[in-house]
């Protein structure tokens, strides 16, 4: 008899949740048994045929109630995703890496826990991706990059060689980061920007070439 697939749930019932469910179903390595969301008002619906379950209670209690052992986090906000990651880990539940089959992921990389790599993304050799990072649809992460925990590379963004993206930083859709540049923690690169020099901690940049347009004051709890 074939071994039963591990039972997992998706946490996050928004658009990102749909994309995560689709990726998990395409992988075919686990059974997606439900969706949770911090907004319990949307319970008793379904997303792509997967039921939205009531999230009232501690996550360890929910795992016993619905019989699952893993949680895939479908939250785009880095800070909220980090809070959920720590909550799930504290409950001793598995946080799987979700890698869409259409992504090209080199065998010569290092991956942490709870990493998301979505459809059409490319991860090239020598790259390290720490825990709870999201590399979104069709993003390109070239050779020898380093993505620190809980950062987010948005759809169609391009990281060329030897780029470092700090913890909780965002690289917006369609942005390009040139070789050797560091995006320091808590910073935000706007959509379509071309980043040619290091971005300091907690700075928002935008434009071609990218220039500072503000500060990003949000921090993890």
Mean pLDDT over 207-217 rounds to 97
The SS3 assignment for 157 reads coil
| Residue 3, pLDDT score | 64
Do the Cβ atoms of 183 and 203 come closer than 8 Å? no
| Residue 1, pLDDT score | 39
Greatest Cα pair distance in the chain: 60
Mean pLDDT over 108-123 rounds to 98
The SS3 assignment for 55 reads coil
| Residues 110 and 142 reside in one and the same domain | yes
Which of 39, 65, 96 finishes a domain? 96
Percent of the residues in the chain that have a pLDDT greater than 70, as a whole number? 99
| Residues 207 and 107 reside in one and the same domain | yes
72 domain-assigned? yes
Find the CATH number of the domain harbouring 13: 3.40.50.20
Q: Using DSSP bridges, classify how beta strands 134-135 and 203-206 pair: parallel, antiparallel or unpaired.
A: unpaired
146 contacts: CB under 8 Å, gap ≥ 6: 127, 128, 163, 164, 165
- pTM of the model as a whole: 0.95
| Residue 41, pLDDT score | 79
Percent of the residues in the chain that have a pLDDT greater than 90, as a whole number? 92
Cis-peptide into 200, omega within 30 deg:
no
| Residues 82 and 130 reside in one and the same domain | no
Q: What is the pLDDT of residues 121-178, one digit of tens each?
A: 999 999 999 999 999 999 999 999 999 999 999 999 999 999 999 999 999 999 999 9
Quote the CA–CA distance of 74 and 18 in Å, as a whole number.
8
| Residues 164 and 64 reside in one and the same domain | no
| Residue 43, pLDDT score | 75
| Residues 117 and 76 reside in one and the same domain | no
49 contacts: CB under 8 Å, gap ≥ 6: none
| Residues 124 and 159 reside in one and the same domain | yes
Which tokens belong to 134? 């999201």
Which of 96, 130, 155 finishes a domain? 96
Residue 25: domain span: 7-96
């Amino acid at each position: 008899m074939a071994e039963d697939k591990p039972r997992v749930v998706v946490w996050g019932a928004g658009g990102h949740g749909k994309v995560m469910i689709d990726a998990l179903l395409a992988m075919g390595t686990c059974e997606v048994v439900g969706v949770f969301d911090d907004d319990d008002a949307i319970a008793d619906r379904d997303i792509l045929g997967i039921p939205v379950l009531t999230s009232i209670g501690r996550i360890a209690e929910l795992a016993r109630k619905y019989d699952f052992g893993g949680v895939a986090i479908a939250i785009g906000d880095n800070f909220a995703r980090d809070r959920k990651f720590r909550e799930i880990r504290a409950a001793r539940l598995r946080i799987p890496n979700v890698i869409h089959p259409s992504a090209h992921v080199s065998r010569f990389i290092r991956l942490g826990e709870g990493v998301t790599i979505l459809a059409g993304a490319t991860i090239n050799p020598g790259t390290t991706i720490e825990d709870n990072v999201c590399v979104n649809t069709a993003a390109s992460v070239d050779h020898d990059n380093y993505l620190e925990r809980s950062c987010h590379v948005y759809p169609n963004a391009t990281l060329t060689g030897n780029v470092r993206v700090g913890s909780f930083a965002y690289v917006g859709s369609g942005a390009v980061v040139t070789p050797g540049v560091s995006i320091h923690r808590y910073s935000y690169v706007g959509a379509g920007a071309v980043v040619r020099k290091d971005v300091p901690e907690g700075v928002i940049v935008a434009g071609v070439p990218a220039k500072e347009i503000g500060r990003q004051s949000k921090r993890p709890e």
